[in-house]
Structure 1
Amino acid sequence: MDQTFHTLEFHRILEKLENLSHTEAAKEQIRNLTPSLKESQVQKDLRDTTEARTILDQMGLPPAVGMKDLSDIITTAKQGGCLTAEELEQTGIMLTGVKRYKEFLNRCKHLELSLPYYELELDPLDELSRAIYESIRNGRVEDFASRGLKNVRQEIGRLEEKLRTKAENLLRANKKYFSDSFVTIRNGRICLPVKKDYKSSVPGSVIDQSSTGSTLFIEPAVIAALNGELELLRIEEENEVRRILYTLTAEVEENLPVLEKNKHFLEKLDFLFAKGRLSEEMNAIEPSIHTDRIIQITNGRHPFMNPETVVPLNFEMGKKERGIVITGPNTGGKTVSIKTVGLFSLMAQCGLHVPCEKADLCMNSQVLCDIGDGQNITENLSTFSAHITNVLKILEEAGKESLVIMDELGSGTDPAEGMGIAIAILDELRHKGCLFLATTHYPEVKTYAKETEGITNARMAFDKETLKPLYRMEIGEAGESCALAIARRLGMTEDMIEKARNYAYGEWESMNHPIHDSKPGEKQFQSSKGPRIEKEKKTAKSNTAMKELFAIGDSVMIYPDNKKGIVCRPVNEQGVMQVQMPDKKIWINHKRVKRLVAASQMYPENYDFSIIFDTVENRKARHKMEKGYQEGLEIRTEEIQTFHKKQ
């Protein structure tokens, strides 16, 4: 089913619907939405969508309700935990939303619909909502939540002011002791920023120090006692706040059944109004749904095509025929048409409206699709193989209550065999008794559809004069690919058109430009107007190939003298190489040299050939240079390479 959803783009419908919902539960329900197989359920779901759409059209959007983290709040209350001020405030916001939603649904009752009566299931819990509102504000417990809390916070305020006044007096009296001209709070205590050198001049407790250590934050002894009193007051404040939170949490716990019921129906209403909003955005209507194997669509529009430019689809099947074979030119709208039929079927069985003027849609046990290029690189399947694999799976699953949609039937292989396979598939679908739609280009398939009971042809209209598809389906008539007409209008010569027609249909038609095939060699290729390839000028052998002819250290024979030597340097670009003879080194063309024994067979890997090719004087000089710089020391030699054994 997931493959069908993606093929027909139903997953995009669900994504759009999810974006129109607000609660996480509604979004989850939408993500898991699948076509229902129960006719009564589908009809009820469609009625709910219609009522939601009617309310939106007549009364506007319902009030949004904050449902953030409500599940966690309910769980905490159930487990006997203490809700925070933020959680209680969120509960109060939800209850306020419930009250507004209830009032909105009450105003909708004059529309004489059933959906507004969901308000009977909503309880705003006015007393709990009022208690939360009076005690919690901006994520904290308000001063007026209790008389005790108000008194202790007032006392804390007076004591903090007294402490600050004393500390500031100390600052002004001894400015040279302090690094700043203001008091600071460190670890919840009022402190003075004392320079390190004056630590002993300010009696008190060091609470903290600066990052550099040059400033100490000291709580003066004269205000330490007052700081102790302040801490006791803050403990008293915290205890009173916690008592209030526990009291409110207990009230929430007492009303948990009502809160859970509110949550459930708000999420349900959120889901229903999301469906209504989707219908409104698509300008859709409620389709008629039934179990008769009939599909009728009047002026249907694919949901993701521009409604201002799309040509409406008028489609009907099931009264006389179980299958329709659609033909016509590429880009003529065949695929969009069959996808629209399949998508409408899925949407209707999920309780969603469909964008058209009128629709009578049958229930389907499943919608099976083979659309698009099914090439699977990871499984090494060609387009044809992937299509056939999918088609065989469809034929195995299809039944009398299935809707099967196949695009480009029999494509991707030899035309004659593809045609035969296409007809065999259609015949199998006909015997299965399912409804099916298929697109093709094969003329033999058109003939089969015309002559076979229960199957009919359809075509996508095409204007041969303008080369423009009309995107209009015409049921009962077979279409043409129009490939020759399109090719002629785009500039293909009449010779080529006639030859193509002959190969396609096996007979010549009267044309003004007869074709005379050229004899081999008689007709030259025409020059291209495009760019030309510049070929590399090739030499007898590349430099790399030359060097690979001989390796340093190879034992060789010099002709015509028939003298033996050892290769000093490999062949260069001119085809010349250097060979060590018994008494001298010579340069010679490689064509006069024949390898006797390869160096790899005579010397170990990394062998130092300077032993063979270098003089004793040079070897001694090189040995001295390895120990360090030697003034006036020269080495006169040709480059010696180290042999590396080829792997």
Structure 2
Amino acid sequence: MLNTEKILEFHKVKEKLMELAYTDKAKEEIKALKPYMSESELQARMRETTEARLLVEKAGNPPLTSLKGIGELIQIAEKGGCLTEEQLEKVGVSLTGVKRLKDYLNRCKQYGLSIPYYEENLDSLEEIRDEICRNIRDGKVDDYASKLLKDLRGSISLTESKMRDKADNVMRVNKEYMSDSFSTIRNGHICIPVKKEYKMKITGAVIDKSATGNTIFMEPAAVGQYYEALQGMEIDEENEVRRILYSLTAMLAGAAQIMERNNKTIEKLDFMFAKGKLSLEYNGIQPAINTERRIRMAGGRHPLMDPDINIPLEFRIGNGTNGIVITGPNTGGKTVAIKTVALNCIMAQCGLHVTCKEADICMNDAYLCDIGDGQNISENLSTFSAHITNVLDILKRAGRDSLVIMDELGSGTDPAEGMGIAIAVLEELKKSGALYLVTTHYPEIKKYADNAEGVVNARMTFDKESLKPLYQMVIGEAGESCAFYIAGKLGMPASMLRRAEKEAYGDNPPEELNRPAGTENVKKEDGEHIRKKKDLSNRQTTAMQFQLGDSVMIYPEKKIGIVCRTADEKGVLRIQLQNKKIYINHKRIKLHVAATQLYPEDYDFSIIFDSVENRKLRHQMERKHVEDRSLTIEE
């Protein structure tokens, strides 16, 4: 059931229901909520939901309060302990909450419903509640809790006032000895701040000193005489407060069973009203419940979808039809449709209202689902393997009282084999007697549904102009995937569509096949092109055509020069002009007169390009070693 809850998103409905509850017990009950198997119990739970919604509509939300922790406080009282002011005040607030709930339920008895009579199970212990509220205010025992306490606190206040006056009088008389103009409380004593060097000027006891030691805090003797009397009164006050707390706690000692019954009643009401508030929030209705294996929904909605965009679903199954095969285009709402049916069925069988205008829903002993991400692939199975494993598990458990939901039956494998498996699964489901909803694209399965007893086709409607699904189910008619039509509308050329039809249907396409006319061939669009790396070897070959001594034309200047150094690996040559030598890329020069036409073979080009000094030195070096001399290469 847990896996089915997630697949159908029922866990999200329960999470919303938990948000509407106050008590932990009601939240736990909601978390454990599952379909009831007893018809009479289901009818009772459904009636609770209906009544709770009516009461919320007519009288508003009930003043529910949690009695969490109150039981533990009562146990302390039973064992002879003493509750604190805060603890007693908490009990008083809880009893006030019980009283308000009783008043709410009493007002609701006028509507002739059964829930208001739970008021009789609530006891607000008014005598105890009144005593607690009278004796304790703002987290402490009130001055008027007893005459003795009032007198003691009055005396304490008067004595403290006298002590303060005495201290202030001493400060006024001896203000030149004071380091400040205000008295203070130190270790429970009223003290005056005296400068260290004048402490012998004041009669009294040193109680404390400042962090620097420059100020001494002294209790004047005139004040000290009141201190012991004040302590005595404070002890008497504390004893009287404890007596009152014990007295109030004792009143609670015998109320353990009453508070336990109050708690259970509030938890039960909390669960009921959470269901009623959920129905109001989802705008639900009470469905009729049957055991005759029929489901009918009029205006059905998915409860988690926005009602403004969710298209109402019309659905029926049963009365001789056990299986529905739903077909139609992708994104046509097939999966949403089967989830809507199954989720509303689970909600109804859990005693919740359904999101329909009208509904008649049968009880099911199992909800078996195989939808998309709900497959278990934790064992590293392929999609198809996981799908088949899930399907086989469903077939083992499916029986006459089951509801089976399968999405894209037979998908994930070779179409021919997938179609065969899908039909075999449908046949097995038919034998089981279960109610089942299946979505598919296989045309052969549509034919099977047309011919099989107890099985009908259904289709999801589709707007062929806007290419948008209409999310409406038409039972009794097979749908088409509209793949060729959609592809054509989106621009697939007619030539491609004809080839697709031939591959899919051979020479005998179905008569109902519908495709729009389109362009004949795919129209190519210009885009970026791959740019190959330039062949540098070819560039070097071109540059190397220039030889030493060649007369060349330099562009764009159109000057004439002589090649005095051939091209390097980058295609750069050195050219001798009239007064200088320059480096230049081979792309900027053109052969004017080849060196072979200007000079004889083995011509010594150093005559042209070398200096006179270099030529003489070269000749000497060719004949003998020349000490401390080297050729200068002109760049």
After TM superposition, the score normalised by the length of structure 2 is: 0.77
Separation of aligned partners in 1, 2:10 and 2:84: 42
| Aligned residue runs from structure 1 range 305-384, under 5 A | 305-374=305-374, 379-384=379-384
Query: Greater shift after overlay, 65-74 or 313-322?
Result: 65-74
| Kept after mapping to 2: 8 A contact 1:205/1:221 | no
Question: Using a 3 Å threshold, how does the CA distance of structure 1 residues 351 and 179 change in structure 2: closer, same or farther?
Answer: farther
Post-superposition offset of 1:539: 11
Query: Greater shift after overlay, 191-200 or 7-16?
Result: 191-200
Post-superposition offset of 1:416: 2.4
2:125 counterpart residue number: 125
Amino acid at match of 2:205: G
Separation of aligned partners in 1, 2:458 and 2:383: 26
Post-superposition offset of 1:135: 0.5
What is the percentage of aligned positions where both structures have the same residue? 55
| Kept after mapping to 2: 8 A contact 1:328/1:480 | yes
2:253 counterpart residue number: 253
1:273 counterpart residue number: 273
1:35 counterpart residue number: 35
Query: Greater shift after overlay, 40-49 or 458-467?
Result: 458-467
Separation of aligned partners in 1, 2:262 and 2:164: 50
| Kept after mapping to 1: 8 A contact 2:327/2:439 | yes
1:290 counterpart residue number: 290
1:263 counterpart residue number: 263
| Kept after mapping to 1: 8 A contact 2:313/2:473 | yes
1:151 counterpart residue number: 151
Question: Using a 3 Å threshold, how does the CA distance of structure 1 residues 532 and 422 change in structure 2: closer, same or farther?
Answer: farther
| Kept after mapping to 2: 8 A contact 1:375/1:381 | no
Q: Deviations over 1:498-542 (max 9, x none)?
A: 2222222233769978989xxxxxx9x95564x6678889999xx
1:204 counterpart residue number: 205
Separation of aligned partners in 2, 1:81 and 1:231: 26
Separation of aligned partners in 2, 1:508 and 1:273: 62
Amino acid at match of 1:264: K
| Kept after mapping to 1: 8 A contact 2:71/2:256 | no
Separation of aligned partners in 2, 1:195 and 1:532: 95
Separation of aligned partners in 1, 2:83 and 2:75: 10
RMSD of aligned residue pairs (Cα, Å): 3.1
Query: Greater shift after overlay, 283-292 or 219-228?
Result: 219-228
Q: Secondary structure at the match of 1:58?
A: helix
2:114 counterpart residue number: 114
Q: Deviations over 1:362-404 (max 9, x none)?
A: 1111212222235777643443333233323322332222211
Question: Using a 3 Å threshold, how does the CA distance of structure 1 residues 513 and 152 change in structure 2: closer, same or farther?
Answer: closer
Separation of aligned partners in 2, 1:460 and 1:323: 16
Amino acid at match of 2:434: C
Separation of aligned partners in 2, 1:434 and 1:465: 38
2:402 counterpart residue number: 402
Post-superposition offset of 1:471: 0.8
| Kept after mapping to 1: 8 A contact 2:179/2:194 | yes
Separation of aligned partners in 2, 1:253 and 1:293: 55
Post-superposition offset of 1:490: 1.9
Q: Secondary structure at the match of 1:428?
A: helix
Q: Secondary structure at the match of 1:237?
A: helix
Q: Deviations over 1:7-58 (max 9, x none)?
A: 2111121122122222232222222222211111100000111111222223
Separation of aligned partners in 2, 1:227 and 1:398: 87
| Kept after mapping to 2: 8 A contact 1:149/1:240 | yes
Q: Deviations over 1:483-503 (max 9, x none)?
A: 221222222222222222222
1:232 counterpart residue number: 232
Amino acid at match of 1:163: M
Amino acid at match of 1:53: R
Q: Secondary structure at the match of 2:310?
A: coil
Amino acid at match of 2:461: A
1:165 counterpart residue number: 165
Post-superposition offset of 1:61: 2.5
Post-superposition offset of 1:194: 4.8
Q: Secondary structure at the match of 1:373?
A: helix
Question: Using a 3 Å threshold, how does the CA distance of structure 1 residues 535 and 360 change in structure 2: closer, same or farther?
Answer: farther
| Kept after mapping to 1: 8 A contact 2:299/2:356 | yes
Amino acid at match of 2:37: L
Post-superposition offset of 1:223: 3.1
1:419 counterpart residue number: 419
Separation of aligned partners in 2, 1:125 and 1:174: 60
| Kept after mapping to 2: 8 A contact 1:374/1:387 | no
1:610 counterpart residue number: none
**2:495 is the counterpart of 1:495:** yes
1:138 counterpart residue number: 138
Query: Greater shift after overlay, 216-225 or 147-156?
Result: 216-225
| Kept after mapping to 1: 8 A contact 2:333/2:471 | yes
Post-superposition offset of 1:437: 1.2
Amino acid at match of 1:364: N
Amino acid at match of 1:27: K
2:594 counterpart residue number: none
1:560 counterpart residue number: none
| Kept after mapping to 1: 8 A contact 2:492/2:518 | no
Post-superposition offset of 1:406: 1.4
| Kept after mapping to 1: 8 A contact 2:493/2:519 | no
Separation of aligned partners in 2, 1:428 and 1:504: 28
Q: Secondary structure at the match of 1:41?
A: helix
Question: Using a 3 Å threshold, how does the CA distance of structure 1 residues 25 and 298 change in structure 2: closer, same or farther?
Answer: same
Post-superposition offset of 1:99: 2.3
Q: Secondary structure at the match of 1:461?
A: strand
Post-superposition offset of 1:178: 4.6
1:100 counterpart residue number: 100
Separation of aligned partners in 1, 2:31 and 2:140: 36
Separation of aligned partners in 2, 1:276 and 1:538: 81
| Kept after mapping to 2: 8 A contact 1:289/1:363 | yes
Amino acid at match of 2:128: L
**2:73 is the counterpart of 1:73:** yes
Q: Secondary structure at the match of 2:458?
A: strand
Q: Secondary structure at the match of 2:372?
A: coil
Separation of aligned partners in 2, 1:481 and 1:197: 104
Q: Deviations over 1:433-482 (max 9, x none)?
A: 22211111121222222222222211111121221211111111111111
Question: Using a 3 Å threshold, how does the CA distance of structure 1 residues 512 and 434 change in structure 2: closer, same or farther?
Answer: closer
Query: Greater shift after overlay, 81-90 or 168-177?
Result: 168-177
Question: Using a 3 Å threshold, how does the CA distance of structure 1 residues 283 and 515 change in structure 2: closer, same or farther?
Answer: closer
Question: Using a 3 Å threshold, how does the CA distance of structure 1 residues 261 and 528 change in structure 2: closer, same or farther?
Answer: farther
Q: Secondary structure at the match of 1:108?
A: helix
Separation of aligned partners in 1, 2:489 and 2:519: 19
Separation of aligned partners in 2, 1:163 and 1:68: 46
Separation of aligned partners in 1, 2:530 and 2:178: 84
| Kept after mapping to 1: 8 A contact 2:493/2:518 | no
Post-superposition offset of 1:221: 5.1
Post-superposition offset of 1:144: 0.8
| Kept after mapping to 2: 8 A contact 1:501/1:508 | no
Q: State the aligned residue count.
A: 533
Post-superposition offset of 1:326: 1.0
Unmatched segments (≥5 aa) in structure 2: 510-514, 538-569, 571-635
1:645 counterpart residue number: none
Q: Secondary structure at the match of 2:373?
A: coil
Unmatched segments (≥5 aa) in structure 1: 517-522, 541-573, 575-647
Question: Using a 3 Å threshold, how does the CA distance of structure 1 residues 324 and 239 change in structure 2: closer, same or farther?
Answer: same
Question: Using a 3 Å threshold, how does the CA distance of structure 1 residues 146 and 311 change in structure 2: closer, same or farther?
Answer: same
| Kept after mapping to 1: 8 A contact 2:376/2:390 | no
| Kept after mapping to 2: 8 A contact 1:144/1:150 | yes
Amino acid at match of 2:472: R
Question: Using a 3 Å threshold, how does the CA distance of structure 1 residues 49 and 511 change in structure 2: closer, same or farther?
Answer: closer
| Kept after mapping to 2: 8 A contact 1:275/1:352 | yes
Post-superposition offset of 1:327: 0.9
Q: Secondary structure at the match of 1:48?
A: helix
Q: Deviations over 1:137-186 (max 9, x none)?
A: 11211111111211111111112212222233344444455544322334
| Kept after mapping to 2: 8 A contact 1:498/1:508 | no
2:460 counterpart residue number: 460
After TM superposition, the score normalised by the length of structure 1 is: 0.76
| Aligned residue runs from structure 1 range 548-587, under 5 A | none
Separation of aligned partners in 1, 2:27 and 2:517: 67
Amino acid at match of 1:384: F
Separation of aligned partners in 2, 1:488 and 1:496: 9
Q: Secondary structure at the match of 1:77?
A: helix
Separation of aligned partners in 2, 1:447 and 1:195: 109
| Kept after mapping to 1: 8 A contact 2:493/2:520 | no
| Kept after mapping to 1: 8 A contact 2:491/2:518 | no
